[in-house]
Amino acid sequence: MFKRLLAASLVVAGTLGIYTTVQAADTIKIGFSIPKTGLFAPAGPSQLNAYLVWQDLVNAKGGLDIGGKGRRKVDFVHYDDKSDPAQAVKIYEKLITSDKVDLVMAPWGTQHHFAIAPVVERHKFPLIGNTAASVALRKVKPGYLWFTTPMMPDNLAKEMTAMLKSRGVKSVAIMYNLLQFASENVQFLKPALAKAGIKVKFEAKYPPDIKDMTGMLTKIKAENPDAVLVHSYPGDSILYMNQAREVGITAKTQYVMVGPAIGFFRGMFKSNLDGIITMGSWTPTMKGTMGAGEFYAAYKKKFKGHEPDYLDSAEVFVSAQILEQAIAKVGLDREKIRGAINSMTFKTIYGDVKFKGVQNATIPAGFAQIQKGKIEIVWPKQRATSSVTDKGAWAK
Amino acid sequence: MDIFLSFQLLAAALITGVLYALISLGLNLIYGTMRLLNVAHGDLVMIGAYVAFMAFSLFNVGPLVSMFGAAVICGGLGWLAYRSIFQRMLSNSLLLTRLEENSLLLFFGISVIIQNLVILFFTADRQGYQYLSEIIEIGDVRLTTARLVVLIVGSVISIAAVLYLRFSMFGLAMNALIQNRDASAVVGINVDRVQMSSLVIGFGITGLAGALISVMEPITPVMGFPYTMSAFVIIILGGLGNIWGGFLAGLLLGFLEIFGIAATGPEWRSVLVYGIFIAILIFRPQGLLGSGKAAR
């Protein structure tokens, strides 16, 4: 009786095994982790949605072009890393060794990218990073990890100082979140400002879970600097927008690092967001790019009229475009893909992207400004779609 | 140092303090009467915030109205939790001895379930809305109308709740339960009814606070945890089960946060808050107004 049961289950297992291998030959499995719970969960959708839009666009064409030898559709395997880099490590190990994905794509966040770097190096899986930015990235030896971001803290500091000088700013107030990227930005910004003769009248750092900025803003108001530079993430950016208006910050240049590029911000703050400067490298109608309009339209269609996040979603889509074009050139061999990423110039929604070592060497760090409810690139001048304007008075 | 004379900061401190007091009131009731470690407390704030957000975006109803809806919904959740889980645990003397430890795990599970359900239905995207956002200037102080209203409403409700619990028959029954459970039963207090009410009222007030907070803060499924932490600090600081103590401790924490970080810097917030918390406990382990360990 038992032997018969065993034989039967072996037959079934064998059949299923054949079945699944037949399935696998049809689709490409790409794995990644996303924060669905935990502190960074609100940031997750920007990234996941961009991946999904890319998947839709690719599969609509019949799938990824595999080195010119036919197309295969993309299947995602993704798990919740609970905003925990250690969890992301376990997930990528599982994706590679147990789920046997063909390729991996990047998780969200600088710390997560760093955490899984050893995993992808060890298993020799090329990974095109997106939502990560830190000068520590340069210490990563060229191997299997690249960073799409143009927003390297030292470049940002250089461009920010240049932009402030062009506006005749003589004094600034700096507020920054203690998280790595924000702190690094300020670390490079201060010497750059000193060199340009711009005075820092106020400086304060705050923890990521800050609930009230009244103290800092009251002091800033008293100092009355020409510019207020807030290196914040969306949660604290919202707090700044509300409380700066309440306290009455009237500086004509106000910079909010991450947040205003997200569609939700324009909906929530309406005309109060006009004049706020933020990080940005992309608009749907920028010249010299590939796929920008397509990405924008597909995103809006899939997500009920919501716009993509001009920062994270755009960057994620660029990293996906790069992978797509590398595979189209050399197929699925991971070593060949690595070679392609190192050598090719990619046509993306940012424009042409070429890597030098691990860094994006062709797209400069830049800033966007919300003008009349639209996001415009205002710096650097050669990529600008509009020029920088003053921040007007807050609405009553 | 004249930052301390700033009325703007005073207003911010009062608003923060009143909200803290309101949120910890519910936890004080629940922990005081039933020794339940409600680590899902902050998630009730979150539910209240989502109720207010939904009411505003779907029906254009402001939080001053929807806060009652939030209270009812969260109170209903409390009733549900009591009838399905805790009623049995509290009446079984064997389970009662391990209730505190078990409740930690139970509520942790409830917290995870609540957060994930919200993520499923609302996505983890940040939500928010602007309501009564015109600025009012009172002397030197500039406040959005919404924050002023939150201050007034929050103060009224928390003081009313404290007075009710102090002076009403029902409030006395709750205090009796907090002091000594078995003795309360002996003098004829319907322990079961009082317990259920404290869970319902505790959850309800917290949901109401969440609705008030929704105008001031971005609404996300994970916004609750910091409030859970603060609530526990406050109820221990004020003396476990002491409603009036919790109220004062809430105000104290608000002032500490706002003025403390204005003096030192926001990065000192956790060091200040927890440092003073530990210091007070070293010199007064029963909390500011606590009166020794409550007998069981």
Minimal C-alpha gap between A47 and chain B (Å): 12
CB–CB contact B115 A37 (8 Å)? yes
pTM: 0.83
Region A40-53: mean pLDDT is 90
Q: Is A248 on the interface with B (CB under 8 A)?
A: yes
Query: DSSP for A45-93?
Result: HHHHHHHHHHHHHHHHTTSEE-TTS-EEEEEEEEEE-TT-HHHHHHHHH
pLDDT score, position A23: 45
CB nearest B218 (choices: A37, A207, A235): A235
Rounded Cα gap, residues B181 and B167, in angstroms: 19
CA angle A369, B136, B259 (to 5 degrees): 85
Rounded Cα gap, residues A148 and A325, in angstroms: 14
Most confident residue range from A138-142, A230-234, B132-136: A230-234
Q: Which residues pair with A33 in a beta bridge?
A: A79
Which pLDDT tens digit goes with each residue over B189-231?
Answer: 888 889 899 999 999 999 999 999 998 888 888 889 889 989 9
Q: How many CB atoms lie within 10 A of CB A4?
A: 8
Minimal C-alpha gap between B24 and chain A (Å): 17
Sign of the alpha-carbon dihedral angle for B151, B154, B156, B162: negative
pLDDT band, residue A199 (cuts 50/70/90): very high
Rounded Cα gap, residues A112 and A106, in angstroms: 9
pLDDT band, residue A1 (cuts 50/70/90): low
Q: Is the pLDDT of residue A275 over 80?
A: yes
Q: What percent of chain A has pLDDT over 70?
A: 94
pLDDT score, position B2: 64
Q: Is A396 on the interface with B (CB under 8 A)?
A: yes
Which residue's structure tokens are 């499923």? Answer: B120
pLDDT score, position B243: 87
pLDDT score, position B48: 96
Cβ(A150)–Cβ(A281) below 8 Å: yes
Nearest in space to B50 (alpha carbons), one of B200, B206, B221, B199: B221
Phi, psi values for residue B103, rounded to 5°: -65, -30
Fill in the DSSP letter of residue A235. H
Cβ(B43)–Cβ(A248) below 8 Å: no
pLDDT score, position A79: 96
Strands of the sheet with A27-34, listed across from one edge:
A64-65, A71-80, A27-34, A103-104
* Residue ranges of chain B with per-residue pLDDT less than 70: 1-4, 291-296
Q: Which residues pair with A380 in a beta bridge?
A: none
Q: Is the pLDDT of residue A102 over 90?
A: yes
Q: Residues B219-251, buried b or exposed e (16+ Cβ, 10 A)? A: bbbbbbbebbbbbbbbbbbbbbbbbbbbbbbbb
Query: DSSP for A33-47?
Result: EE--SSTTGGGHHHH
Q: Kindly give, in sequence order, each residue whose CB lies less than 8 Å from that of residue B180, ignoring residues fewer than 6 positions away.
A: B294, B295, B296
Cβ(B126)–Cβ(A46) below 8 Å: no
**Helix (H/G/I), strand (E/B), else coil: A244:** helix
Q: Name the residue in chain A with its Cα closest to that of B213.
A: A211
Fill in the DSSP letter of residue B50. H
Rounded Cα gap, residues B41 and B110, in angstroms: 10
Pairing outcome for strands A27-34 and A71-80: parallel
Q: Which residues pair with A76 in a beta bridge?
A: A30
CB–CB contact A246 B258 (8 Å)? no
pLDDT score, position B91: 79
pLDDT score, position A9: 62
Cβ(B183)–Cβ(B17) below 8 Å: no
User: Where on the phi/psi map is residue B30: left (φ > 0), alpha (ψ -120 to 50), or beta?
Assistant: alpha
List of chain A residues whose C-beta atoms are within 8 Å of the C-beta of residue B124: 35-37, 41-42, 44-45
Q: Is the pLDDT of residue A21 over 60?
A: no
User: Where on the phi/psi map is residue B120: left (φ > 0), alpha (ψ -120 to 50), or beta?
Assistant: alpha
Rounded Cα gap, residues A393 and A390, in angstroms: 9
Q: Kindly give, in sequence order, each residue whose CB lies less than 8 Å from that of residue A292, ignoring residues fewer than 6 positions away.
A: A282, A283, A284, A285, A286, A349
Q: Is the pLDDT of residue A8 over 60?
A: yes
CB–CB contact B258 A212 (8 Å)? yes
Q: Kindly give, in sequence order, each residue whose CB lies less than 8 Å from that of residue A305, ignoring residues fewer than 6 positions away.
A: none
CB nearest B266 (choices: A39, A216, A264): A216
Rounded Cα gap, residues B274 and A207, in angstroms: 14
CB–CB contact B265 A218 (8 Å)? no
Q: Is A223 on the interface with B (CB under 8 A)?
A: no
**ipTM for the whole complex:** 0.81
In total, the C-beta contacts within 8 angstroms joining chain A to chain B are 113
Rounded Cα gap, residues A235 and B70, in angstroms: 23
**Residue ranges per domain, chain B?**
20-229
Rounded Cα gap, residues A88 and A201, in angstroms: 41
Q: Is A52 on the interface with B (CB under 8 A)?
A: no
Q: Kindly give, in sequence order, each residue whose CB lies less than 8 Å from that of residue B137, ignoring residues fewer than 6 positions away.
A: none
Minimal C-alpha gap between A158 and chain B (Å): 26
Catalogue all structural domains in chain A, each as residue range(s) with its CATH number: 2-151+286-360 (3.40.50.2300), 153-279+366-383 (3.40.50.2300)
Orientation of helix B169-179 relative to helix B145-167, angle to 10°: 80
Give me chain A's average pLDDT, please. Answer: 90
Region A226-234: mean pLDDT is 94
Fill in the DSSP letter of residue A30. E
Residues composing chain B: 296
pLDDT score, position A25: 59
Rounded Cα gap, residues A213 and B269, in angstroms: 12
Q: Is B148 on the interface with A (CB under 8 A)?
A: no
Q: Is the pLDDT of residue A88 over 70?
A: yes
Rounded Cα gap, residues B266 and B268, in angstroms: 5
Q: Is B226 on the interface with A (CB under 8 A)?
A: yes
Q: How many CB atoms lie within 10 A of CB A10?
A: 10
pLDDT band, residue A41 (cuts 50/70/90): confident
Cβ(A93)–Cβ(A115) below 8 Å: no
Residue with the bigger pLDDT between A136 and A192: it is A192
Cis peptide before A380 (omega within 30 of 0): yes
Alpha helices of chain A — where are they, by DSSP H? Answer: 2-26, 44-60, 85-93, 110-123, 153-166, 180-195, 214-223, 234-247, 263-269, 292-302, 312-330, 334-343
Pairing outcome for strands A127-129 and A145-147: parallel
Q: Kindly give, in sequence order, each residue whose CB lies less than 8 Å from that of residue A170, ignoring residues fewer than 6 positions away.
A: A197, A198, A199, A226
